[in-house]
Amino acid sequence: MSTLSLSRRQFLAGSAATVAASAASSTTAARAASGAGDSAPSRRVVLALIGAGGRGSNHAAGMSRLPGVEFKYVCDVWKDRGDGILKDLTRVQKRAPRRISDLRVALDDREVDGVVIATPEHWHALATVMACQAGKDVYVEKNPCNAIWEGRKMVEAARKYGRIVQVGFQNRSGPYAASARDYLASGKLGNIVHVKVYNMLEGSRWEPVPDGPVPAGLDWDAWLGPAPKVPYNPGRHANWHPWWDYKGGTLADDASHQLDLTRMVLGDPGHPRSVLCTGSNHAFGSKREVPEFQCITYDYGTYTMTCESGNATPYLRKFPGEVRYGNQWPHWPTSATRVEIYGTKAMMYLGRHGCGWQVVVEGGRVIDQDKGYFPDKWHQPNFIDCIRSRKTPNADIALAHPSACLVHLANISYRVGQKQLFFDPVRERFTNSTAANGLLKPAYRKGYRIPDTV
Ligand SMILES: NC(=O)c1ccc[n+]([C@@H]2O[C@H](COP(=O)([O-])OP(=O)(O)OC[C@H]3O[C@@H](n4cnc5c(N)ncnc54)[C@H](O)[C@@H]3O)[C@@H](O)[C@H]2O)c1
């Protein structure tokens, strides 16, 4: 991170040194080690926001309004980001937060209990592991990691250092998701025979843009972090989603929520036996790396799950405000983000964003339902409660990791030539493709590596 004039060697050494110093001294670490929590709402919780963009501002606004919560730092590698967040926090907090550009400043501060990581995906795992090593609790946005190996390291770091690691799969805190899970577990749908997950969004032709000068105040090298060094490109910077190095397309961005909610209501099954992802850029002929449309089949043994995800269907819509925050039910067939769960007795329509679920039988007759509400209002407090109580959060990294794997399994299947891949669920390696195993772990840049032993 050039802003602190540290070399990459120092970056790595610094994070290792931080481990020992902070983990040993942090008060939360001590509490975790003793198994004791202080769940009193009066116990102050001090946070640092890492990544002051759109989602970071949602979290700063939501969490700073919870009793006893304060953001001490707002960290971004681009000096222009975060002005609005700083202003808002200064208004609602007793103490104004400090703007920083290097997350290690927050990790080295013993007063900080936790970090909220809302950077692009290629930074999620490294920042989470560093934070755990430094004795900090973590809220990390979805998709929690950019590779299967990274997710495993996040789980290991959380457990080794006794940290709370809540993933931004907020549907897990929605009461409607819990009632859907209980409904399925009750057997009222019968045996589950098929699950269809949709994430079919609007889209248009994607065009590459030429490289250009780095904008003033942006540390492009730090933005790239663990990802390969490339010249500044405004297209990558503004929208990193359609690049394997930073995210992995709409599947990682948006369908990850759908897949996670579906896993949750199915009772969090382990990894599927196999995956096959086909897809293409035939809708608009975009020249981007990630496909405009993907069709995935996961084999869970007793049932099959499919996922259709992409940016090619403008007439399908995400749930509107009246559905997310009101009492209106969606029009399921034209809902872009619906899940259909087929049992031997009935089928369930399920939606995220607080949409809820309806169970339908012949003729479209609804026999059961539960309406939801956009779930940030439960998910953010759950993180803060768990910092105080040391209870496992609703979207614990160990539950979120297999959901993130569904994204990575599919993208790897697509990248190795749209082949069916078989997966060893214990070793988390493919059993029929060396090429696929080569995509389990990113090739990190020197100085930004996650160690094998976290
Ligand atoms: N759970 C949800 O519903 C939800 C919704 C939107 C976005 N997200 C997720 O939130 C994350 C952020 O998305 P966004 O839309 O806010 O993006 P954004 O581009 O608006 O903000 C990301 C910010 O992170 C900063 N950044 C990059 N590397 C950094 C580093 N090493 N340290 C500090 N700052 C760094 C960037 O400069 C940028 O300002 C993504 O992972 C996205 O998938 C989740």
Q: Residue by residue, what is the 3-state secondary structure of the chain?
A: CHHHCCCHHHHHHHHHHHHHHHHHHCHHHHHHHHCCCCCCCCCCEEEEEECCCHHHHHHHHHHHCCCCEEEEEEECCECCCCHHHHHHHHHHCCCCCEEECCHHHHHCCCCCCEEEECCCHHHHHHHHHHHHHCCCEEEECCCCCCCHHHHHHHHHHHHHCCCCEEECCHHHHCHHHHHHHHHHHCCCCCCEEEEEEEEEECCCCCCCCCCCCCCCCECHHHHHCCCCCCCCCHHHHHCCCCCCCCCCHHHHHHHHHHHHHHHHHCCCCCCCCEEEEEEECCCCCCCCCCCCEEEEEEECCCCEEEEEEEECCCCCECCCHHHHCCCCCCCHHHECCEEEEEECCCEEEEECCCCEEEEEEHHHEEEEEEECCCCHHHHHHHHHHHHHHCCCCCCEHHHHHHHHHHHHHHHHHHHCCCCCEEEECCCCEECCCHHHHCCCCCCCCCCCCCCCCC
Dist. CA 355 → ligand 1 center (Å): 24
Give the pair of three-digit tokens for residue 10.
């120092």
Cα distances from 190 to residues 304, 341, 347, 359, 450, in angstroms, run 15, 11, 9, 12, 44
* Any domain includes 198: yes
Asked if pLDDT for residue 392 goes beyond 80, the answer is yes
Dist. CA 52 → ligand 1 center (Å): 7
Dist. CA 343 → ligand 1 center (Å): 38
Closest CA to 239 of 249, 226, 251: 249
Strands 429-430 and 421-424: antiparallel
Q: What pLDDT score does 37 carry?
A: 58
Other Cβ atoms closer than 10 A to 178: 15
Q: Lowest-pLDDT range, 17-21, 45-49, 57-61, 311-315?
A: 17-21
Q: Last residue of some domain: 348, 375, 402?
A: 375
121 lines ligand 1 (CB under 6 A): yes
Q: What is the CATH number of the domain that holds 222?
A: 3.30.360.10
Nearest CA to ligand 1 atom 6: 55
Nearest CA to ligand 1 atom 21: 53
Strand-pair partners of 118: none
Per the CB < 8 A criterion, the answer to whether 449 and 12 are in contact is: yes
* Any domain includes 427: no
Tell me the pLDDT band of 80, cut-offs 50, 70 and 90. Answer: confident
Closest CA to 164 of 151, 175, 176, 155: 155
55 lines ligand 1 (CB under 6 A): yes
Q: What confidence tens digit (pLDDT) does each residue in 346-383 have?
A: 999 999 999 999 999 999 999 999 999 999 999 999 99
Q: What pLDDT score does 406 carry?
A: 98
Q: What confidence tens digit (pLDDT) does each residue in 239-271 have?
A: 999 999 999 999 999 999 999 999 999 999 999
As a whole number of angstroms, the distance between CA 304 and CA 195 comes to: 6
Q: Is 120 in the same domain as 246? A: no
Q: Is 262 in the same domain as 357? A: yes
Output 321 or 8, whichever has higher pLDDT.
321
Nearest CA to ligand 1 atom 2: 168
Q: Is 316 in the same domain as 385? A: no
As a whole number of angstroms, the distance between CA 298 and CA 83 comes to: 44
Q: Is 183 in the same domain as 56? A: no
Output 331 or 17, whichever has higher pLDDT.
331
Q: Is 352 in the same domain as 230? A: yes
168 lines ligand 1 (CB under 6 A): yes
Closest CA to 47 of 62, 34, 32: 62
Strand-pair partners of 353: none
Q: Which amino acid is at 253?
A: D
Tell me the pLDDT band of 31, cut-offs 50, 70 and 90. Answer: very low
227 lines ligand 1 (CB under 6 A): no
Number of domains comprising the chain: 2
Q: Is 389 in the same domain as 338? A: no
As a whole number of angstroms, the distance between CA 353 and CA 97 comes to: 30
* Any domain includes 429: no
As a whole number of angstroms, the distance between CA 9 and CA 130 comes to: 15
- Ligand 1, from 49, 58, 74, 76: best to mutate by most atoms within 8 Å of Cβ? 76
269 lines ligand 1 (CB under 6 A): no
* Any domain includes 39: yes
Q: Is 104 in the same domain as 183? A: no
Asked if pLDDT for residue 4 goes beyond 70, the answer is no
Q: Tell me what the mean pLDDT of segment 62-91 comes to.
A: 96
Asked if pLDDT for residue 35 goes beyond 60, the answer is no
Q: Is 61 in the same domain as 186? A: no
Q: What pLDDT score does 5 carry?
A: 30
* Any domain includes 417: no
* Any domain includes 240: yes
Q: Is 182 in the same domain as 321? A: yes
Share of the chain above pLDDT 90, in %: 90
* Any domain includes 136: yes
Q: What is the CATH number of the domain that holds 92?
A: 3.40.50.720
**Dihedrals phi, psi of 151, to nearest 5 degrees:** -60, -40
Q: What pLDDT score does 39 carry?
A: 65
131 lines ligand 1 (CB under 6 A): no
As a whole number of angstroms, the distance between CA 46 and CA 69 comes to: 6
Dist. CA 124 → ligand 1 center (Å): 9
Dist. CA 148 → ligand 1 center (Å): 20
* Any domain includes 441: no
Domain of residue 64 covers: 2-171+378-394
Q: Is 146 in the same domain as 267? A: no
75 lines ligand 1 (CB under 6 A): yes
Closest CA to 117 of 28, 48, 14, 196: 48
Q: Is 85 in the same domain as 137? A: yes
Q: What confidence tens digit (pLDDT) does each residue in 168-215 have?
A: 999 999 999 999 999 999 999 999 999 999 999 999 999 999 999 999
Q: Is 252 in the same domain as 138? A: no
